[in-house]
Amino acid sequence: MSVETRYYPDIEQLSAAAAELVCRKSVQAVDEHGSFTMALSGGSTPSALYELLAQTPYSERIPWEKTYLFWGDERYVPTGHKDSNAAMALKTFVKKVPIHPGHICCIPTETPSPERAAENYEQELYRLFHVFAPVSKERNIPVFDLILLGMGPDGHTASLFPDSPVLEERERWVSAAPIPRLKPPLPRITLTFPVINAAGSVLFLISGAEKGRILKSILEDPQQARRMYPAARVQPSGELFYFISE
């Protein structure tokens, strides 16, 4: 694993740098194995990045016909709900680019339970990655080209929260997650660490002094940080990027 940390004075410059990285990784992935798979993040921090990706020049540089979009986690609400992670990305980015509708893989929350949603999404990942994208031969697990992640004020990432039993999941690719203490108090569905850490590249988008202090702890004492912050357990087999702004 290689680690690269970049600091930016504001979210605009961070987002522009992230857009450049997405473009570069998309072309690289298609050149190497014919497809580009990216898992999107929720929260407010990536919204500026998504808006850039829907605009020129970035939108013209990504091979959309070979691109597949997924989500790293979701709240158990309908896709159009104001608290849906997918809703924001669909509105600001995904519906504005020429990607095939069949390549947009939202977590299916129109299900009887979060557990069923997790099962259905895992089945969808299995189907798509065994046909169109790389799978780890050693562990038979999907290998995303790029996973976008954020970090919460408690050090959570995706819907992997401190003290959650999902942190110790080793078999499932996708899991339902208990209702967190943070708002909104909703059940979640999340990719698990085995999938996140199998990725070719993981990009953290981090904004704010409080989260910056957590990142400092992760970089300075990773062993201690892993016991406190789920984000510190993200250690992909490929590249790990931390982009941070004030």
Residue 240 included in any domain: no
Tell me the per-residue pLDDT of 7-35, one tens digit each, with 9 for 90 and over. Answer: 999 999 999 999 999 999 999 999 999 99
- The CATH number that applies at residue 208 is 3.40.50.1360
Predicted local confidence at residue 17, as pLDDT? 99
The tally of CA atoms less than 13 A away on the side-chain side of residue 30 is 15
Predicted local confidence at residue 183, as pLDDT? 83
Neighbouring-strand partners of residue 3: 240
Global pTM exceeds 0.75: yes
Residue 138: domain span: 17-229
The tally of CA atoms less than 13 A away on the side-chain side of residue 55 is 10
Tell me the per-residue pLDDT of 53-94, one tens digit each, with 9 for 90 and over. Answer: 999 999 999 999 999 999 999 999 998 899 999 999 999 999
Tell me the per-residue pLDDT of 104-158, one tens digit each, with 9 for 90 and over. Answer: 999 999 999 999 999 999 999 999 998 877 788 777 899 999 999 999 999 999 9
Residue 237 included in any domain: no
Neighbouring-strand partners of residue 205: 243
Residue 7 included in any domain: no
Residue 37 included in any domain: yes
Neighbouring-strand partners of residue 73: 190
User: For residue 21, what is the DSSP state?
Assistant: H
Residue 4 included in any domain: no
Residue 173 included in any domain: yes
Predicted local confidence at residue 74, as pLDDT? 98
Number of domains composing the chain: 1
